Amino acid sequence: MLHLLFRQLGRVPVAVQAGRRYICIMRKISLLALAALTACSLPGRQSFAPAPRAADPAAIAAASAFAGRIPLVSVAPGTTDFAAPLAGAVRQALAIKPGAAFDVEAQAPAAATPGASAAALAPLTPLASAVAQSIAADGVAPDHIMLTARTGGTAPLILVYVK
């Protein structure tokens, strides 16, 4: 029995030495990993786009021309074949936002007097109404379509906005 005890005691220093060697190796690996990580920087906007592109001046001008709102569709006076492109745009808008509402806006350049502005907007009324009817025919509920008229811009247009 005593010889078994001495045999076990002889193994203990070997196990302790192996454990110390393991701990020493793990410390070295941890220090190397820590040194490697301190050389890195956290990912940020600069790491994915080191040279971001500036905004397109045409897009900035378009946004300011429409008072910050970009129209879904613009229809020039005299256009008669707007139904198919308008239907595609409405379908895409409804796919993104099923409960979307549409603003159909008749827009004419500002005139010197309110009467002259009203006279400039009057010829756009039938076209704006036809655009609104086309949107309703594409499956949009009538209470999600709003008709408006305003002065602004440089040319008469019918603009369709999505809300």
Q: With 70 as the cut, is the pLDDT of residue 87 above it?
A: yes
Give 156's contacts (C-beta < 8 A, 6+ positions apart). Answer: 76, 77, 106, 107, 108, 109, 120, 123, 124
Mean residue pLDDT across the chain: 81
User: Which of 13-22, 31-40, 112-121 has the least mean pLDDT?
Assistant: 13-22
Which pTM does this prediction carry? Answer: 0.59
CB 128 within 8 A of CB 76: no
Beta-bridged to residue 103, according to DSSP, are 146, 161
Angle between helix 125-137 and helix 83-96 axes, rounded to 10 deg: 50
Task: Of 91, 92, 90, 114, give the one whose Cα is nearest residue 103.
Answer: 90
**Per-residue model confidence as pLDDT tens digits over 101-150:** 999 999 998 888 999 999 999 999 999 999 999 999 999 999 999 999 99
